[in-house]
Amino acid sequence: MKVNHQSKNKLKLVLGKKIQLKDVIKKIIIITIALGVIYWCYNQTNFSLAKLRAGWGGIVDIVGRMLPPRFDILADMIGPTIETVQISICGTILAILFSLPLGFFAASNITPHRLLYSISRFILNAARAIPDMIFALIFVAAVGLGPFPGTLAIGFSSCGMLGKFFADTIESIDSGVLEALQATGASRLQTLVYAVIPQVLPEFISLSLFRWEMNFRASTILGIVGAGGIGFELQAAIRLFNYRDMTMILIIILVIVSIVDFISSKIRSKIS
């Protein structure tokens, strides 16, 4: 019996070593493939530190043209800056209004019908796949230049991300609360109001604030296609080679982004 027990221990030890060796080989293969993919990506993008060093003179030249910033245009940039903030706020609110119903329908645990689930998921995927610049071009062609197409572009492009995260948040809620309410005969609306919304509201507010930060940065770029805001002034400065004006506009954008980030962080900390 003693010999048999020792044999079993040796067998377990051998099997354990084989399993460990198999895991090591598997990890080596995965790491090798990952490194190969990384090398392939760098190779295909012509990444070269030598080229960067050779182009250092061009970087110094363009930075020299950008300095010093033209502070005398600061007063003229107040209006476009306010307009950019307005675009980001209105666009984010529009995105929230779009993403709320889509998020509910795209959550597998509360969607009223599988067809609605599939359609909502497709819409959210499409909104995330289409760049906000494309939305801006479409709406500029539809309603003309100005802040309105920028607001629409921000709203439609943002609802994809917000709706998906909202749906994922709903799917991760405590199902026990849902089952308890449903067992009492609560309607679907009552279940949403008393079981779903209280659990997902803080997370959704936090995500909406984070998206607002992203939307402000996005709204500065949409001006390039004529969607209003300070981005329009930035594009004009670039086209006219007014690099000092461009530097002043970039400083303004940096300051406003920092303020938006500060406000958003404070609100999120209060919620959490």
Q: pLDDT, tens digit, for every residue of 93-110?
A: 999 998 888 888 888 877
| Separation between Cα atoms, residue 88 and residue 211, nearest integer Å | 9
* pLDDT for 33 beyond 90: yes
Averaged over 48-58, what is the pLDDT? 82
Q: Residue 190 to residues 97, 168, 196, 199: CA-CA distances in angstroms?
A: 20, 21, 9, 14
- pLDDT attached to residue 214: 84
* pLDDT for 18 beyond 70: no
* pLDDT for 255 beyond 70: yes
Which carries the bigger pLDDT value, residue 109 or residue 164?
Answer: 164
- pLDDT attached to residue 177: 67
- pLDDT attached to residue 35: 92
* pLDDT for 90 beyond 70: yes
Q: Residue 44 to residues 53, 212, 230: CA-CA distances in angstroms?
A: 19, 35, 35
Averaged over 142-148, what is the pLDDT? 81
- pLDDT attached to residue 32: 92
Taking a C-beta distance cutoff of 8 angstroms, is the pair 48, 223 a contact?
A: no
Q: Which of 20-24, 36-40, 205-209 has the lowest mean pLDDT?
A: 20-24
Measured on CA atoms in the order 110, 89, 236, 256, is the torsion positive or negative? negative
**How many C-beta neighbours within 10 Å does residue 119 have?**
14
* Mean pLDDT estimate for the chain: 81
* pLDDT for 8 beyond 80: no
Alpha helices in the chain (DSSP H): 2-44, 49-54, 56-66, 78-105, 114-129, 132-143, 147-171, 175-183, 188-191, 197-222, 230-239, 243-271
- pLDDT attached to residue 17: 54
- pLDDT attached to residue 3: 46
- pLDDT attached to residue 272: 64
- pLDDT attached to residue 1: 47
| Separation between Cα atoms, residue 156 and residue 161, nearest integer Å | 10
pLDDT-derived band at 2, boundaries 50, 70, 90: very low
pLDDT-derived band at 241, boundaries 50, 70, 90: confident
- pLDDT attached to residue 145: 78
Averaged over 142-151, what is the pLDDT? 83
Averaged over 22-46, what is the pLDDT? 87
